[in-house]
C-alpha cells in the first residue's frame, strides 16, 4: 500500500488557505510531495468566490467589512461560499494519472465524494452524492465540491458543514433572496443541512476527520501517514502568500454590473403560487442560481430542489429552459398537483425576461419592483389612467376612505396626482378590492387597452389571477413600507380599512410613464 500524506493545516486565514492550495498543487505537479489528503479550517470567517467570479457581484462587501469577514478567491471553480470555523474543508491533491483517479471530471467528483458519503453514513447521516458535485442528506446540501489541476496534478476539494449560521451567510453573500425575512431564512434552511441539525449534536472534529481519512483510504486503496508541509512548500508558501493577500488577486475578475442580474417573478395558477428568484448572467444568458418557492404541494418533498439544481448553470434561452425543465420532469417521478413543466417554464421565463427591462430604461435595482398583468411591458399600449392605492393616503386624511385627493402634499398620493396631470393621465384612488375590479372592467368596457397602477407585491401575488381574469393589460409599480400582509391584516386591507400608510415609488412611477407614455407617443407622433 502506498502511503499518502495526511496534512492538517489547522485553522488559518483565507489568504493563507488559498495560498496553500496553490502551493501544495504546485508541489505535487513538480513531484516534490506525496499525494495528500488535507484538512483545513478558517478563522476569521470568510467568503470565498470561485476562480472566475467577481467579488463585487457575489459578496455584500460592506457587511463583510463591518463584521470582519475576510474575502478571497479560490483557485477552484464554482460559486461563492461563506466559511466559518464550523465548517471543515477537505482536499485531495494527487497525480492525475493515479490508477484510482477517473479522468472524466464528473466521474472524479462522484468517486471521491463517495468517501465523504460513506464517512457521513458511518456517522449516522443518510448522505448521498448528488450529481454533479454535491453531497446531500434528504435532498439538502451538506457538502459542495470543486477542483482544479496543474500539469500532471489535480486538487479536488470540498466543504463539510458541521454547524451552520444561515443568517450570516445570507447577509454576506448576494443570494437571490428578496429581503432577509424569516421566510427566506426558512427557505435556505430547507435547502441546506449540517451535521449538527442531522445528528442533534455537534460531533467532535477529530472524529469527523478520522472517518473521512479512513474512508478515503479504503476508497483509494492507500494508507495515510500524518506529515507536515515540506521545507520546499513552506518556502513557496512564503513567496506566494503576498499574492493571495493582494487586491490584484482578490479582485482579479471584474464584470460589468449589468452582467449579473437578480430577478424575481410570481406565477400563479390553480396549483398555487410559484415564486422564482434567480441570478442571471445576462451576457452569457445563463441561470447562475435559482430558488423556487411558493405554496404549492410537491411529492416527493424537496423534489423542487433537484429542479433548482438542474437549472443551475443552464442556458436562459427560452427553448433551452423548456428543454431543461422537460428533461427534469421526464427523468423524475415528481407530483405537483396543478403545476406542470409548462408552468415552471413560464415562471422562469417571466423572471428571465425582466432582465431585458433594463434595456427599456428601467433601472437595474427597479426591475423587481415592476409587475405586469395580462400583457408584457414591451408590447403594452400607452396607459391613460393611473390607479393609486388608498393605503398610501394618510390615515387621518378625509380622503383616506373615499376616492380623490386634495393635493395637500402630506402624502405621496398628491404628488402622484400631479405626475398624472403632468403626463395627461387620469388619476384614480382605489378604495378597496371591489372598486378595483369595477374600475378595471369599466376601463376595459370604455375602450382602454391598458392601465398603470401601483400596489404592493403581496397584493399583486394575491390578485394576479383576478387581474388576468379581468384581462386588462397593466403595469404595476411596487410601493414602499407595505406591511399589511405581513401583519396578517389583509382582511382589513381588502375592505379598505387598514391603518398603515404606504409610500408610492414616485421616481419609478415617473420613469415608467416616460417609457410607456412619453416615448411611445413620441414614436407614434402623438405628442
Partner 1 sequence: MQIQGYNFPEGLKYDKNHFWSKLDGDILTMGFNEFAVRLAGEFVYVDMVEPGKKVEQGKAFMSAESGKWVGRVYAPVDGEVVEFNADLEFEPDKINQDPYGEGWLVKIKIAEAGQLGALMDPESLEPWFLSELERVKGDAED
Q: How far is the CB of 32 from partner 1 (least distance, A)?
A: 17
Q: Is the CB of 117 or the CB of 388 nearer to partner 1? A: 117
3-state secondary structure 455-519: CCHHHHHHHHHHHHHHCCCEEEECEECCCCCCCCCHHHHHCCCCCCCCEECHHHHHHHHHHHHHH
Q: Is the CB of 313 or the CB of 375 nearer to partner 1? A: 313
Q: How far is the CB of 146 from partner 1 (least distance, A)?
A: 4
Q: What CA–CA distance (Å, rounded) separates 146 from 74?
A: 10
Q: Is the CB of 78 or the CB of 389 nearer to partner 1? A: 78
Q: How far is the CB of 145 from partner 1 (least distance, A)?
A: 7
- Among residues 428, 396, 423, 404, the alpha carbon closest in space to that of 522 is found at 423
Q: How far is the CB of 51 from partner 1 (least distance, A)?
A: 5
Grid coordinates representing 204 are: 467532535
Q: Is the CB of 144 or the CB of 355 nearer to partner 1? A: 144
Q: Is the CB of 240 or the CB of 413 nearer to partner 1? A: 240
- Cα→Cα distances 433→12, 240, 436, 491, Å: 59, 65, 5, 10
Q: Is the CB of 11 or the CB of 100 nearer to partner 1? A: 100
- Which residue is listed with cell 472517518? 211
Q: Is the CB of 144 or the CB of 383 nearer to partner 1? A: 144
Q: How far is the CB of 69 from partner 1 (least distance, A)?
A: 22
- Cα→Cα distances 182→166, 196, 217, 276, 480, Å: 11, 21, 42, 17, 19
Task: Say which residues have a Cβ less than 8 Å from residue 40's Cβ, sequence separation at least 6.
Answer: 9, 10, 12, 17, 20, 88, 89, 90, 91
CB 274 within 8 A of CB 347: yes
Q: How far is the CB of 255 from partner 1 (least distance, A)?
A: 10
Q: How far is the CB of 352 from partner 1 (least distance, A)?
A: 16
Q: Is the CB of 220 or the CB of 428 nearer to partner 1? A: 220
Q: How far is the CB of 197 from partner 1 (least distance, A)?
A: 24
Neighbour count for residue 491 (Cβ, 10 Å)? 10
Q: What CA–CA distance (Å, rounded) separates 519 from 523?
A: 6
Asked whether the CA dihedral 210, 213, 216, 221 is positive or negative, the reply is negative
Q: How far is the CB of 414 from partner 1 (least distance, A)?
A: 47
Q: Is the CB of 21 or the CB of 70 nearer to partner 1? A: 21
Q: How far is the CB of 281 from partner 1 (least distance, A)?
A: 9
Q: What is 298-338 written as a DSSP string?
A: -BSTTHHHHHHHHHTT-B-SHHHHHHHHHHHHHHS--B-TT
Residues that bind partner 1 (CB under 8 A): 50-52, 75-79, 97, 99-107, 109, 111, 132-133, 144-151, 283-286, 313, 315
- Cα→Cα distances 17→109, 209, 276, 449, 498, Å: 21, 18, 36, 61, 55
Q: How far is the CB of 147 from partner 1 (least distance, A)?
A: 5
Neighbour count for residue 228 (Cβ, 10 Å)? 11
Q: Is the CB of 150 or the CB of 506 nearer to partner 1? A: 150
Grid coordinates representing 266 are: 410570481
Q: Is the CB of 176 or the CB of 473 nearer to partner 1? A: 176
Q: How far is the CB of 155 from partner 1 (least distance, A)?
A: 9
Q: Is the CB of 79 or the CB of 427 nearer to partner 1? A: 79
Q: How far is the CB of 8 from partner 1 (least distance, A)?
A: 24
- Among residues 15, 9, 24, 11, the alpha carbon closest in space to that of 242 is found at 15
What residues are paired with 40 via a beta bridge? 89
- Cα→Cα distances 278→176, 177, 261, 289, 314, Å: 6, 8, 8, 6, 12
- Which residue is listed with cell 463517495? 114
Q: Is the CB of 10 or the CB of 77 nearer to partner 1? A: 77
Is the backbone peptide bond immediately before 300 cis, with ω within 30 degrees of 0?
A: yes
Task: Name the phi and psi angles at 451, rounded to 5.
Answer: -145, 155
Q: What CA–CA distance (Å, rounded) separates 473 from 449?
A: 7
Amino acid at each position: 500500500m502506498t502511503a499518502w500524506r495526511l496534512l492538517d493545516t489547522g485553522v488559518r486565514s483565507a489568504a493563507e488557505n488559498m495560498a496553500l492550495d496553490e502551493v501544495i498543487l504546485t508541489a505535487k505537479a513538480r513531484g516534490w510531495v506525496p499525494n495528500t489528503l488535507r484538512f483545513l479550517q478558517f478563522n476569521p470567517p470568510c467568503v470565498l468566490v470561485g476562480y472566475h467570479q467577481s467579488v463585487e457581484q457575489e459578496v455584500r462587501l460592506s457587511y463583510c467589512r463591518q463584521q470582519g469577514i475576510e474575502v478571497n478567491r479560490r483557485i477552484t471553480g464554482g460559486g461563492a461560499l461563506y466559511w466559518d470555523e464550523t465548517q471543515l474543508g477537505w482536499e485531495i491533491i494527487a497525480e492525475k494519472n493515479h490508477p484510482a483517479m477517473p479522468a472524466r471530471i464528473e466521474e472524479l467528483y462522484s468517486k471521491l465524494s463517495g468517501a465523504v458519503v460513506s464517512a457521513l453514513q458511518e456517522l449516522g447521516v443518510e448522505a448521498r452524492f448528488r450529481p454533479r458535485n454535491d453531497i446531500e442528506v434528504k435532498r439538502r446540501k451538506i457538502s459542495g465540491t470543486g477542483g482544479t489541476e496543474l500539469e500532471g496534478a489535480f486538487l479536488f476539494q470540498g466543504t463539510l458543514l458541521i454547524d451552520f449560521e444561515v443568517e450570516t451567510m445570507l447577509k454576506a453573500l448576494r443570494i437571490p433572496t428578496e429581503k432577509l425575512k424569516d421566510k427566506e431564512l426558512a427557505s435556505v434552511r430547507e435547502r441546506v443541512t449540517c451535521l449538527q441539525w442531522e445528528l442533534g449534536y455537534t460531533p467532535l472534529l477529530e472524529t469527523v476527520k478520522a472517518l473521512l481519512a479512513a474512508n478515503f483510504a479504503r476508497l483509494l486503496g492507500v494508507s495515510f501517514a500524518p506529515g507536515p508541509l515540506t521545507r520546499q512548500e513552506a518556502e513557496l508558501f512564503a513567496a506566494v502568500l503576498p499574492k493571495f493577500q493582494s487586491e490584484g488577486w482578490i479582485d482579479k475578475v471584474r464584470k460589468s454590473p449589468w452582467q449579473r442580474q437578480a430577478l424575481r417573478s410570481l406565477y400563479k395558477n390553480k396549483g398555487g403560487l410559484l415564486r422564482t428568484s434567480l441570478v442571471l448572467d445576462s451576457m452569457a444568458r445563463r441561470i447562475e442560481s435559482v430558488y423556487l418557492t411558493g405554496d404549492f404541494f410537491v411529492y416527493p418533498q424537496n423534489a423542487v430542489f433537484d429542479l433548482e439544481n438542474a437549472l443551475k448553470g443552464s442556458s436562459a434561452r427560452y427553448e433551452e429552459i423548456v428543454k431543461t425543465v422537460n428533461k427534469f420532469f421526464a427523468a423524475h417521478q415528481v407530483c405537483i398537483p396543478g403545476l406542470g413543466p409548462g408552468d415552471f417554464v413560464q415562471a422562469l421565463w417571466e423572471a428571465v425576461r425582466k432582465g431585458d427591462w433594463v434595456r427599456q430604461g428601467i433601472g437595474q435595482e427597479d426591475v423587481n419592483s415592476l409587475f405586469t398583468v395580462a400583457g408584457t411591458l414591451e408590447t403594452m399600449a400607452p396607459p391613460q389612467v393611473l390607479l393609486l392605492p388608498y393605503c398610501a393616503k394618510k390615515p387621518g386624511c378625509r380622503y383616506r376612505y373615499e376616492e380623490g385627493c386634495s393635493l395637500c402634499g402630506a402624502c405621496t398620493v398628491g404628488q402622484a396626482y400631479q405626475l398624472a396631470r403632468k403626463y395627461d393621465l387620469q388619476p384614480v384612488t382605489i378604495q378597496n378590492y371591489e372598486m378595483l375590479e369595477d374600475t378595471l372592467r369599466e376601463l376595459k368596457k370604455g375602450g382602454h387597452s391598458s392601465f398603470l397602477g401601483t400596489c404592493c407585491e403581496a397584493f399583486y401575488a394575491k390578485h394576479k389571477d383576478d387581474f388576468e381574469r379581468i384581462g386588462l393589460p397593466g403595469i404595476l409599480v411596487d410601493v414602499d413600507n407595505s406591511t399589511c400582509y405581513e401583519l396578517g391584516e389583509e382582511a382589513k386591507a381588502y375592505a379598505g380599512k387598514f391603518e398603515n400608510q404606504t409610500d408610492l415609488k414616485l421616481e419609478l412611477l415617473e420613469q415608467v410613464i416616460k417609457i410607456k407614455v412619453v416615448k411611445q407617443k413620441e414614436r407614434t407622433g402623438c405628442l
